[in-house]
Amino acid sequence: MVATEDPPALIAVDRPMARRIGIEGGSLWIGDDPGLSLPVLEGPTEVHLAVTDRCPAGCTACYADATPQGHEPTLDELRSRLDRLAEAGAFSVALGGGEGSLRADLPEVIAHARSVGLVPTLTTSGLGITPARAAALSDMAQINVSWDGPAELYASVRGYDGARGAERAVRVLQDAGIPVGLNTVLTERTLAGLDAIGEGAERLGAVELQLLRLKPSGRGKLHYLALRPSPAKLAELPEHLERLSARGSFAVRVDCALVPFLAGSFDVARLQQFGVNGCEAGRSLMTVGAAGAVGPCSFWGSADVALDERSWAEDPTLEAFRAYAQDPPEPCASCPAGAVCRGGCRIVSRHLAGDAFVPDPECPRVRAHGSGNDRSEAT
Ligand code: SF4
Ligand code: SF4
């Protein structure tokens, strides 16, 4: 993997290309060139690092179950985790929580990430972002503010109307010179409101609108069935993406878990060309929770194996994710989009089917195949 600064990007290159740009792998490169099709990278390119489990917002469907009393690691603990992640070969570290922006020492965390060569980004609800605070965070590569749409839509997801607070935070961060994106969770209501959300993203001057599939984890499990979009609404997603992209004023991103809903509508080569990736957990992505435990992604929860130098290669949950993605059952095994999607979302499978390592029950192709084993449909 090669990181470029302008434009900022991570690019996979094969050995001939690496040699052309002056990189020689020496003894690491003995044997055949695996080209660009490595099933698993030798280190994570991106790590989600929880800098706290503390958050006073109390969002209805918080995937992390964050509370005002949540655990918070010390600055030294975070520095040592960042050191380990840099040694493991990570390029970027997505800081989250809980509400990471409430940490008084967050600027020191960012400075340490930069000092070991990691590119830091942050996801925040916008709580507590003052002009002084924003100025102290100006070394962030990008900050994404959670914004589920204008007032009523926002409240329908989070249980309170925090839209104006989030919008204020967007402006304050932009004034500090930080590129700001928006994160929107897709529910039945917000999916129906995507045109208004696109208008809002344009009005707010966001550099990116990232659409996230609702995940049944944390408190989100309790509200998942009531909030999740129906299959009919999800079928409208590709059209919405075309319309949002046509606006041209911000980049549109979809998260890993939404790929099953695009696979039937977009050419697989086009998805790959635009860097749309499905489940990257264990392939290029790893998570470190606030207590220092390693996990496949932030939504997995309850991991208890502490981060060490063997984590990426040997963590049993990461291994289980890899094994599933490399040899999934039907209909994923024969799916034309399998290489991009990698079997759908394990968090949704775990919740709906009672087993993380079965096909994603909400994927349209899995539903048509009749192998989804969605327990919610039986009740
Ligand atoms: S069938 Fe499997 S691999 Fe194909 S889109 Fe659905 S979840 Fe993804
Ligand atoms: S299990 Fe995979 S697809 Fe689901 S949220 Fe985690 S990384 Fe994304």
Phi-psi category of 67—alpha, beta or left, where left has phi over 0 and alpha has psi -120 to 50?
beta
Give the number of other Cβ atoms within 10 Å of residue 375's Cβ.
12
* Closest ligand 2 atom, residue 346 Cα: 1
**pTM of the prediction?**
0.92
The string of pLDDT tens digits covering residues 163-203 is 999 999 999 999 999 999 999 999 999 999 999 999 999 99
Q: How many domains does the chain have?
A: 1
* CATH number of the domain enclosing 60: 3.20.20.70
Give the Å distances, CA to CA, from 7 to 21, 179, 202.
17, 14, 22
User: CA 344 to CA 322: how far, in whole Å?
Assistant: 13
State the distance from the centre of ligand 2 to the C-alpha of 354, rounded, in angstroms.
16
How does strand 285-288 pair with strand 294-295?
antiparallel
Q: Does 346 fall in a domain?
A: no
State the distance from the centre of ligand 2 to the C-alpha of 281, rounded, in angstroms.
6
Q: Does 33 fall in a domain?
A: no
End-to-end CA distance of the chain: 47
Q: Does 135 fall in a domain?
A: yes
* Closest ligand 2 atom, residue 297 Cα: 6
- 219 is written with which tokens? 């408190």
Supply the range of the domain harboring residue 194: 42-328
Q: For ligand 1, is residue 240 a contact (CB within 6 Å)?
A: no
Q: Does 291 fall in a domain?
A: yes
State the distance from the centre of ligand 2 to the C-alpha of 43, rounded, in angstroms.
18
Q: Does 22 fall in a domain?
A: no
Q: Does 6 fall in a domain?
A: no
The string of pLDDT tens digits covering residues 4-59 is 888 878 888 889 999 999 999 888 888 888 777 777 788 999 999 999 999 988 88
Q: On the CB side of 357, how many CA atoms lie within 13 Å of its CA?
A: 12
> 126, 143 in Cβ contact below 8 A?
no
> In three state form, how does the secondary structure of 129-177 look?
CCHHHHHHCCCCCEEEEECCCCHHHHHHHHCCCCHHHHHHHHHHHHHCC
Q: Does 377 fall in a domain?
A: no
Q: Does 323 fall in a domain?
A: yes
User: CA 134 to CA 124: how far, in whole Å?
Assistant: 12
